[in-house]
Structure 1
Amino acid sequence: MKQEEFKDFSENLSVNYAEDKIRAGLWDKEDALDQARFDMLHLLPKGVMTKDHLLWNVCNEDDEKVGTLWVLEEKDTYFIYDIMIFEAFQNQGYGSELLRVLEEKARDEGISEIELHVFGHNKRALHVYENMGFEAIDINMRKRL
């Protein structure tokens, strides 16, 4: 990803992240977008040049941008902060293929684990991650009364 693309990436991710936090009942709607933007500035203060953070555009075989990927490289672990396949390209195998490519890159770089967080309401992503061999390592649960 190029630095000039970062502003749009950051804003789109902030909006989506705020919506997920609201849907999960973790943030109030009034403050969610501001909090998400704050988190983005804190995590990526230098945009695509932030140390140990890897931001990629995901392209198909026709070199058409189909999504984005944000990964933190820490010791021998990749932590996926965000994987986004744009709506028009979902359910076409791009997410699974992206995870396969990331896994291959990780092995080539000596990375031994890939971790991520997924919201419980994101059933589509959960399905993809489970099919790709990811296992739950910590589960928070809630019952609304």
Structure 2
Amino acid sequence: MHTIKLHRMNQEEFDFYIRNKVPRYAESIAQNIKLDEQKALENASQKLQRLLSEGNNTPGHLLFNVIQDDKLIGYVWIKINYETHESFLYEIYIKEQFRGKGKGTRVMQLIEKLLIEQEIESFNLHVFGHNAGAFKLYERIGFDVIGINMQKKISPKS
């Protein structure tokens, strides 16, 4: 049995993560919000800078490498609000070659265990509309839909 662990990122690992996160996030933005590639990259970069204003040291934000047998197989980014006892999953990313083998489920269990140890009472997340696999995972492990974001692109009249 392969052991999966979460390891807090150091600064070098965080820098690598962000360099790769921007285009990944931009792709989701472009696909779901229907922005062109350049605007999606700018949007992703600005949002990530705003959310992680102090980088790897941004208060409340925890960034982890997902490690299996000394190999990096993915990433986790969560925010914990200790005052309200709530958390938000910004990202769980498992590399393509490791998907579909229960690793995402195991990582979510590890996150939940960490949150329980921190006395967090609410675990929240957002799923992009195109990500049916993630939606199924979250439903299967007990997440409830509490709202749905919808969008219609419109053009102002000339």
Larger Rg over CA atoms: 2
What is the identity, as a one-letter code, of the residue corresponding to 1:31?
A: K
Q: How does 1:15-54 map to 2 (within 5 A)?
A: 15-54=23-62
Query: Which residue does the alignment assign to 1:100?
Result: 109
CA distance in 1, matches of 2:59, 2:151: 36
Instruction: Compare relative contact order (CA 8 Å, sep 6+) and give the higher one, 1 or 2.
Output: 2
CA distance in 2, matches of 1:58, 1:25: 29
Report the TM-score when normalising by structure 1. 0.92
Q: Provide, for residues 82-134 of structure 1, a one-character-per-residue CA deviation record: whole Å limited to 9, x for no partner.
A: 11001111111111001111111111110011100110110111111111111
Unaligned runs of at least 5 residues, structure 2? 1-8, 154-158
Of 119, 126, 131, which aligns to 2:140? 131
The runs of at least 4 consecutive aligned structure 1 residues that moved more than 4 Å come to none
Q: Provide, for residues 47-100 of structure 1, a one-character-per-residue CA deviation record: whole Å limited to 9, x for no partner.
A: 21111100000111x121110000000131110011100111111111100111
Aligned residues: 144
Report the TM-score when normalising by structure 2. 0.84
What is the identity, as a one-letter code, of the residue corresponding to 2:22?
A: S
RMSD between superposed Cα atoms in Å: 1.7
> Sequence identity, in percent?
37
Query: Which residue does the alignment assign to 1:85?
Result: 94
What is the identity, as a one-letter code, of the residue corresponding to 1:41?
A: Q
